[in-house]
Amino acid sequence: MVSRNDTAVAEFILLGLSSNSETQVILFCIIMVGYLIILNGNILIIILILTDINLHTPMYFFLSNLSFLDLCFSTSIIPRMLRDLVSVKKTISYAECATQLYISLSLGQTECILLSIMAYDRYVAICFPLHYTTIMSKIICVRIAAITWMCGFLFPISQVAFTLNVNLCGKNEINHFLCEVPEILSMACENTIFIECITFAVGVIILMIPVTFIVVSYIKIISSILKIASSAGRRKAFSTCGSHMIVVTIFYGSATAAYMKPRSSSTPEIDKVIAIFYVIVTPMLNPIIYTLRNNDIKSAFLKFRRRYYFC
């Protein structure tokens, strides 16, 4: 699969976010702070969900999956990104680039599917409250999560295989801070229309179908919420769904902009800004959004802090 590129290109040069040394220092500090927020925020959410029995529900089970996924996704990219910001030599081996490409694609596509599952969970909880525990039983939730992760890691295989098999003719400068399909295809010295069609088709399946599913789910959810007689009940339902909708909008918006636009309309600068959103901003905002807008999480945090303080 990779024999042509193994002989022609042994390593890539990541041009990164900036070539200015002062700017790189500033970016390093900003991104480091963001990464620490990602680590602490998502680890805290996972710990709270695991230790507080009141959070042992399907909604928080999928939220813990999302937090773990965000941790893995950011960690597969940001440490390397930080190293390059303070390094003179910004090379990445062919094998490391291929690994980063596959892992980031797999985790990103897993998140696409997971966010649609979380929308379905809210749909069942609000539209079928009496049957919720039956429909979303523990064993069903575990199976859904397992299938989600499995699909996320299976779908990118063909996409990555075709991308890594393009003839680069010795080109090895990637004008980005990570290895991504569009950036590698931009270096190809052969017609890549077939691979671009595959990338677009995968984008439709992984992005557009879940988005459609989420939109339909929330149309039905809003319709059901408006029928709730109690204003307090309506506010609680809207609050629960609001956090998820904010996360969905940020993640799908940036991912769609990155993978569903034609190559002719993309520029390296815009692509880098878009990537910053789904690599750093979304994983950083997820725990903040769910914490600030969720009374259950805040209550669990207060109990956890009291236990830790007294210990």
Percent composition of the chain: helix, strand, coil (DSSP 3-state, to 5):
80, 5, 20
Residue 132 has pLDDT above 50, yes or no: yes
Range of the domain at 289: 3-310
Residue 79 has pLDDT above 90, yes or no: yes
SS3 299: helix
Residues 126, 225: contact at Cβ < 8 Å?
yes
Q: How many domains does the chain have?
A: 1
Among the ranges given (37-41, 105-109, 175-179, 192-196), the one the predictor scored with the smallest mean pLDDT: 192-196
**Quick one: pLDDT at residue 39?**
94
Residue 238 has pLDDT above 90, yes or no: no
Taken in order 90, 95, 98, 104, the sign of the CA dihedral is negative
**Quick one: pLDDT at residue 46?**
94
**Quick one: pLDDT at residue 6?**
43
Among the ranges given (12-21, 22-31, 117-126), the one the predictor scored with the smallest mean pLDDT: 12-21
Residues 10, 94: contact at Cβ < 8 Å?
yes
Q: Which residues pair with 11 in a beta bridge?
A: 93
More confident site: 248 or 230: 248
Q: Which two tokens stand for residue 179?
A: 């290895």
Among the ranges given (94-108, 200-214, 241-255), the one the predictor scored with the smallest mean pLDDT: 241-255
**Mean pLDDT value of segment 59-68:** 93
pLDDT tens digit sequence for 143-168: 999 999 999 999 888 888 888 888 88
pLDDT tens digit sequence for 81-109: 999 998 888 889 888 999 999 999 999 99
- Determine how many CB atoms are found less than 10 A away from the CB of residue 296: 17
Residue 48 has pLDDT above 50, yes or no: yes
Residue 226 has pLDDT above 70, yes or no: yes
**Quick one: pLDDT at residue 293?**
66
Residue 311 has pLDDT above 60, yes or no: no
Instruction: Return the percentage of the chain with pLDDT > 70, whole number.
Output: 90
**Rounded CA separation 42/65 (Å):** 10
**Quick one: pLDDT at residue 240?**
65
Residues 100, 22: contact at Cβ < 8 Å?
no
**Rounded CA separation 262/182 (Å):** 10
- Per-residue burial over 179-214, b if 16 or more Cβ lie within 10 Å, else e, is bbbbbbbbbeeeebeebbebbeebbeebbeebbebb
Give all strands (DSSP E) within the chain, no chain letters: 11-14, 91-93, 173-174
Residue 39, CB half-sphere, CA atoms under 13 Å: how many? 10
**Quick one: pLDDT at residue 4?**
47
CATH number of the domain at 216, please: 1.20.1070.10
Confidence at 3, pLDDT banded by 50, 70, 90: very low
Residue 1 has pLDDT above 70, yes or no: no
SS3 12: strand
Amino acid letter for position 95? A
pLDDT tens digit sequence for 166-190: 888 777 888 888 888 888 888 888 8
